[in-house]
Amino acid sequence: MNTSPISDRPLTRYARLVAVAALTGVGAGLSGMFLALLLHAVQHLAYGYSLGRVISTESFLSGVSAASYSRRLMAFALCGAVAGFGWWALYRWGRPLVSIREAVRSEDPRMPASSTLAHALLQIITVALGSPLGREVAPREVGALWSGWIAQRAGLSVTDQRVMVACGAGAGLAAVYNVPLGGALFVLEVLLGTFEWRVSVLALFTSALAAVTAWIGLGNEHQYAVPQLVLSAPLFVWSLVCGPFFGLAAWCFVRLTGQARARAPKDARLPICASLNFMLIGVLVLLYPQLAGNGKGAAGLSFDSDLTIGLAATLLVLKVAIEVSSLRAGAEGGLLTPGLTNGALLAVVLGGLWNIIWPGTSSGEFAVVGAGAFLAASMQMPLTAIVLMVEFTRAGHDMLVPMLLSTTGSVAAFKLLAKAVDVRLQATQQRTRSQGQSRIGAVRGEGQS
């Protein structure tokens, strides 16, 4: 005779898990929609375009380009003040932040509510004002916060709570970018590292539900409208040859951004550093409005074949510089769209040089392939990156071939380079320890003599 409580029966546990998954999808969809609408509202107010509606056909790049020089400088001055004083206050008085990766590996997957929400809002507002960092971390954090809270209240096991935190993060990504499959793959490939069937079902369900929920306010739109892309022999060979170059560039980018984050101030220097950083970026935006924001404008121009080699190279150098400087100054944000944009700009440069040797491919086709390769290596998520590029651009089936080839070369080169550097670092550390021990031994020998 079964005497276990009803709440412990398998059917009840599964019912609670399904209910939590449904609430996670809807909650992440609504929060992602709200954050996206807030982003657009701040952009329109700051740069004075499309004031009659939050979602409009006018792009952020168009709005920045049409704004006066004084308005651009004022927006970046405000961005520096919000970033500097906002994050300084959060570090000074807020509870310590818990990242999503930490939460899904912790015995207590909950995240601090007030600090996490403040962190997310600061990211959205600063990106809207022109910060070159990404906005994708904010909806992931809010989705993870919500799902963790629901899962804990529902009495799920710690293991299931971790799964739901990861699903909430993926659902937030799916909602804000309308990428249901990409959001699910992000959970499985990046956050949890498993494709176990039960976890896969939960990830797919929550991400799909979040994306559909966000359609209420954002519509069923994709991020980039690209022309018809065609697979050609020059593009095929270029993808094979240039894939490793994207891996090398991604490795350098990850090193630069990692060091910048590690050295960022969190004390009273933060407001000063952030203000100076964003004022300098504002001056650059007077000359290059494509630099404003997370890089979506520059990526769109790359996909549309609207950039020359010279302009793409200039934007690439400046984009990387301001992304690194913003992290070094203490600002926070994601690197998904910035990484995608860097890859697209690098591809325009490499593709333009390739066309001199073997013409016949548009720069937009190079850009789509290169963006996916750079994103896959820089964030170490090859499957997710390919799916995201397809969902972002609605690229045709034929483009999967060069994307897979370039991504393979990029990720392989990144891994090999990272391994070589690690081996060299370990050898250097071993030599240092050996030399230290030798010196200690020599000193002891002298003392005994």
Each residue's pLDDT tens digit, 87-146: 999 999 999 999 999 999 989 898 999 999 999 999 999 999 999 999 999 999 999 999
- Location of structure tokens 């804990």: 152
pLDDT at 3 over 50: no
C-alpha pair distances (Å), 259 with each of 238, 254, 265, 327: 32, 8, 12, 9
Domains and CATH numbers, the chain: 6-218 (1.10.3080.10), 233-422 (1.10.3080.10)
The answer to whether 318 and 285 have CB atoms below 8 angstroms apart is no
Query: Residue 207: which of 162, 177, 227, 249 has the closest Cα?
Result: 177
Select the more confidently predicted residue: 401 or 433.
401
pLDDT at 1 over 60: no
- Centre a 10 Å sphere on the Cβ of residue 101 and count the other Cβ atoms it contains: 12
Which residues lie closer than 8 Å to 87 by C-beta, 6 or more apart? 122, 266, 270, 274, 330, 331, 332
CA max distance for the chain: 88
Q: Please report the pLDDT score of residue 418 as a whole number.
A: 93
Select the more confidently predicted residue: 443 or 131.
131
Per residue in 287-311, pLDDT (tens digit) is: 999 999 999 999 999 999 999 999 9
Buried b (16+ CB within 10 A) or exposed e, 378-403: bbbbbbbbbbbbbbbbebeeebbebb
User: Cα(167)–Cα(325) distance, rounded to whole angstroms?
Assistant: 32
Which residues lie closer than 8 Å to 2 by C-beta, 6 or more apart? 9
Q: Which of 282-296, 315-329, 342-356, 433-447 has the lowest mean pLDDT?
A: 433-447
Which residues lie closer than 8 Å to 17 by C-beta, 6 or more apart? 156, 160, 202
Q: Please report the pLDDT score of residue 448 as a whole number.
A: 55
Q: Which of 132-136, 223-227, 236-240, 253-257 has the lowest mean pLDDT?
A: 223-227
User: Across residues 201-205, what is the average pLDDT?
Assistant: 98
Q: Please report the pLDDT score of residue 248 as a whole number.
A: 97
The answer to whether 307 and 250 have CB atoms below 8 angstroms apart is no
Q: Please report the pLDDT score of residue 213 as a whole number.
A: 98
The answer to whether 145 and 97 have CB atoms below 8 angstroms apart is no
pLDDT at 335 over 60: yes
DSSP line for 99-159: -HHHHHTSSS----HHHHHHHHHHHHHHHHHT-SSBSSHHHHHHHHHHHHHHHHHTT--HH
- Per-residue tokens: 204: 């797919």
User: Cα(126)–Cα(75) distance, rounded to whole angstroms?
Assistant: 10
Q: Is 418 exposed, middle or buried (0-12, 13-18, 19+ CB in 10 A)?
A: middle
C-alpha pair distances (Å), 390 with each of 190, 375, 418: 18, 13, 28
User: Cα(63)–Cα(50) distance, rounded to whole angstroms?
Assistant: 8
The answer to whether 364 and 303 have CB atoms below 8 angstroms apart is yes
User: Cα(232)–Cα(239) distance, rounded to whole angstroms?
Assistant: 11
The answer to whether 320 and 339 have CB atoms below 8 angstroms apart is no
**Which DSSP category does 225 fall into?**
-
- Centre a 10 Å sphere on the Cβ of residue 157 and count the other Cβ atoms it contains: 11
Query: Residue 319: which of 134, 173, 144, 101 has the closest Cα?
Result: 134
**Which DSSP category does 341 fall into?**
H
Average pLDDT of the chain, as a whole number: 93
Q: Please report the pLDDT score of residue 13 as a whole number.
A: 81
- Centre a 10 Å sphere on the Cβ of residue 256 and count the other Cβ atoms it contains: 16
Q: Please report the pLDDT score of residue 446 as a whole number.
A: 57
Query: Residue 87: which of 338, 274, 321 has the closest Cα?
Result: 274
User: Cα(390)–Cα(32) distance, rounded to whole angstroms?
Assistant: 21
User: Cα(110)–Cα(247) distance, rounded to whole angstroms?
Assistant: 35
Amino acid, single-letter form, for residue 299: A
Q: Please report the pLDDT score of residue 198 as a whole number.
A: 93
Per residue in 9-28, pLDDT (tens digit) is: 666 888 899 999 999 999 99
- Per-residue tokens: 329: 């100054």
User: Cα(311)–Cα(228) distance, rounded to whole angstroms?
Assistant: 23
User: Cα(124)–Cα(411) distance, rounded to whole angstroms?
Assistant: 30
**Which DSSP category does 334 fall into?**
B
